[in-house]
Chains A and B, each alone.
Chain A
Amino acid sequence: MSSEANHSNNSNNNFVIISNEFNKNNPEITTTLAPPNSRHDHPLVSTFSSSSRLASPPLTKTVGSPGSPSTPLRRKEPEPPAFEKGIASEISANFGQMVQIIFIKPLRIKLAVEPPNIVKVATFLRDNLGYDHAESVAGTDYPKDDQIEVIYHLGSYSREDLAGQVLSIATRTNRDDARLPTLINVYKSVEYHERETFEMLGVYFEGHPRNERFLLPEDWADIPPLRKEFRIKGR
């Protein structure tokens, strides 16, 4: 087990670019993209369209030093960038209406899927697109919709052109009986994140080996603290 031997083993494992095909705009694939208006009808996309409290324009005024180049704001980009669009169209070409594309922004894509399909979609993302690890799993409570959204942020180490990309895949479950299939068999890296989501939001991940307490005290006997009805004392 000398380090030299190990060095020579790893030295020729450089980055392997799996496929660059979908970078080109394929007219057949782009036609299968869901029309932009249809996402408001989908039950998964009711997040801010039905329950938004304020829809005011930003109140802040921005001051930049005149004449100096500054990084352009991401949000003002009107047209979704080609590379991200290519990834999204490859996904929708494979899954059609099973996957809803919520937004395509520079370096960010968000998908929404129904719980039964998430393992299938995640396996496709890992095997065919090269998203090889999960960076974070975030659960969000939406009492108004009576739902909990769990979102996986996926990234890629093995594909250089995906290095800055984060693909997020969201799914929703009922608050009363919050159950979702685990992604641990697809992404080992979600193990602790899902365990944290279980204890913080009470989402039971079916198939996860340890839906157990993780960060909270051993004698915690209250509702999951990141649910909205849990209030901090004095606030």
Chain B
Amino acid sequence: MADLEDRINESQKMGMQIIKESEDDRLMTLSVGPQHPGSGHFRFVVKLDGDYIVHCDPDPGYVHRGEEKMTEYRNFIQNIPHLERPVIHDSTNITYSYSLAVEELTGIEVPRRGQFIRAIASELNRQVYTLYWLAIYGIFLGHSTMFMWPTGDRELFIDLLEALTGARVTHAFNIPGGVRNDVPNGFKDRCLRQISYYEKRLKEYEDIFYNNPLVRQRTEGVGILTKEDAIRLGVTGSVLRASGVPYDIRKAEPYDVYNEIDFKVQYMKTADSFARAYVPFLDMRESCHILRQLLDKMPEAGEVRAKLQANPRGPPGEAYRRVESGRGALGYYIISDGTPKPYRVKISVGSFRNMLALPHLLVGAKMGDMPVIYWALNYWPVEADR
């Protein structure tokens, strides 16, 4: 140190100016996304001090499509196809709570068989979404087998949903009053065969990915979100359950037939990225049990939807209904003024709520851990932007 001071004094004697390094010189500002392959349609600006993230500012909105405004121009039924666009891989669940809210507003009652088919489609779609997310998480950990396997197995669920709804990805299957179609012949057997195969595959997933020492090393202890912080930030879904809060809308506020289904809320207490990656996997496994029960208890015959007028409407009022989607609670707040068009629709999505945890977790983490933390948040940028 004395050496340095001597040199500074010497330089000053020679008339040289000493410029101290400011904080801005040391920090590097890095814009991640929206074209970064690891970000999706989402940008966040991080400031790096060496390897460590010291500041993070999310900047969503690259796929904002004004879904909430669009609903005010269409009637209740016309709204369904465009409302599933924010998250096409989970399109049954995002229209599920919308249908529930509209049913509450208009007083439509769903036939029992329709309720079961809805729940079956919802669980199948949960598998599709979670497999897609798992594939992405796998590839960003550098585990390309975990990209290929879920992508392949996802096709089988897509085929099932195609047989059920007629469309591969965007189904527009839930409508206020029930579902569009009845199940095709032989659907139950096909579904059960698929689940048996898939449960075997889940064991292999666990062996190759979750029990992989390299995956564990990269995810365990990374990005810890304590229970208190999770509650304070109001996160939802797998992020919340990974922090030790056993909260699931299917249990907390059972909709349709979920109060007749016996299942456990899957949660972990380690609160790190591994837990956030493992809880969706546990959900998939539990979802298989739910599917078996739903298929078993579904009435053999009956109506699948209530007969509707062309433009259902109800008295003025408001409704707030939620379902558990692949990314947590998905709520619709709908205000009706008595016309066939909603006066205001607010979509409260899990991704938007979980975004608050991103700066919280990234600040203080290493840049190399960024993909591990970011993708474990189960974040879907298109849904957050709506």
A residues at B contact (CB < 8 Å)? 1-3, 6-7, 10-11, 13, 48, 51-65, 68-71, 73-76, 107-108, 110, 132-136, 138, 140-141, 151, 153, 157-158, 163-164, 166, 168, 187-189, 191-193, 200, 214-217, 225-226, 230, 232, 235
Question: Can you show 29 pairs from A to B with CB atoms below 8 A apart?
Answer: A3-B220, A3-B272, A7-B270, A10-B227, A10-B243, A13-B227, A52-B316, A54-B316, A54-B338, A55-B316, A60-B312, A61-B309, A62-B108, A65-B299, A68-B111, A70-B110, A70-B111, A70-B112, A75-B104, A134-B234, A136-B346, A138-B333, A191-B356, A192-B356, A214-B61, A215-B385, A225-B66, A226-B344, A232-B69
- B231 lies within 8 A of A158 (CB): yes
- B335 lies within 8 A of A226 (CB): no
- A3 lies within 8 A of B303 (CB): no
**Chain B: interface secondary structure?**
loop
B residues at A contact (CB < 8 Å)? 60-61, 64, 66, 68-70, 73, 104, 106-113, 115, 177, 220-221, 224, 226-227, 230-234, 236, 240, 243-245, 247, 251-253, 256, 269-272, 274, 299, 302-303, 306-309, 312-318, 320, 322, 329, 331, 333, 335, 337-339, 343-344, 346, 348, 352-353, 355-356, 385-386
- B247 lies within 8 A of A157 (CB): yes
Alpha-carbon distance between A158 and B240 when the two chains are bound, in angstroms: 12
| A225 contact set on B, CB distance < 8 A | 66, 69
| B177 contact set on A, CB distance < 8 A | 60, 62
- B339 lies within 8 A of A54 (CB): yes
| B104 contact set on A, CB distance < 8 A | 73-75
| A153 contact set on B, CB distance < 8 A | 320, 331, 333, 348
CB < 8 Å neighbour of A132 from B109, B221, B224, B232 = B232
- A215 lies within 8 A of B307 (CB): no
A232 and B73 in contact (CB under 8 A), knowing A48-B337, A166-B320, A189-B234? yes
| A62 contact set on B, CB distance < 8 A | 107-109, 177, 306
CB < 8 Å neighbour of A189 from B107, B244, B353 = B353
| A10 contact set on B, CB distance < 8 A | 226-227, 243-244, 269-271
